[in-house]
Amino acid sequence: MPHILMDHSAVDPREELFERLGDISDIELFHNNVVVAIYKRPEKTKSGIILTSSHLEEDVYQGKCGLVVKMGPSAFQSDGNWSMPDIKVGDWVFFRASDGWNMSIRGNDKKEAVQCRRLKDTSIEGRITHPDMIW
């Protein structure tokens, strides 16, 4: 069950991020690097509460949830010592807010770049079914 139910009636957050990113085939990742697009909550909750813009902006810096949008060739590949999770592009994942490098990828939405983070696959702590589950 999500922590705070957000109003996603306008668009699915996964579809919106992929549409805004557009073609990212020109980004080449090496080794076990993973790029996740940071989940930014909509401004309104299901119950109608409007969140302030400063509250929403914190998702970029303190966000702990993202959509896997690109993976390096050895991301989530087992080295024989332990099994790796079957993470794939399109999965919602969570991680520590302080991990990784911030990236801005300008995609199809020329007004605003998509805020992303480059992480090592070992920095990803888990997978969830919906981004509102992480607070």
Q: What is the pLDDT of residues 47-62, one digit of tens each?
A: 666 766 776 676 677 7
pLDDT band at 125 (very low <50, low <70, confident <90, very high): very high
| Residues with Cβ within 8 Å of residue 62, at least 6 apart in sequence | 97
Over residues 63-77, mean pLDDT: 93
* Percent over 90 (pLDDT), the chain: 47
64 has a pLDDT exceeding 60: yes
Tell me the residue type at 1: M
| β 114-120/101-105 pair status | antiparallel
Q: What is the pLDDT of residue 1?
A: 42
Identify the structural domains of the chain with CATH numbers, from first to last.
Answer: 13-133 (2.30.33.40)
* CA end-to-end distance (rounded Å), the chain: 12
Measured over the CA atoms of residue 57, residue 18, residue 96 and residue 100, the dihedral's sign is: negative
Over residues 39-45, mean pLDDT: 72
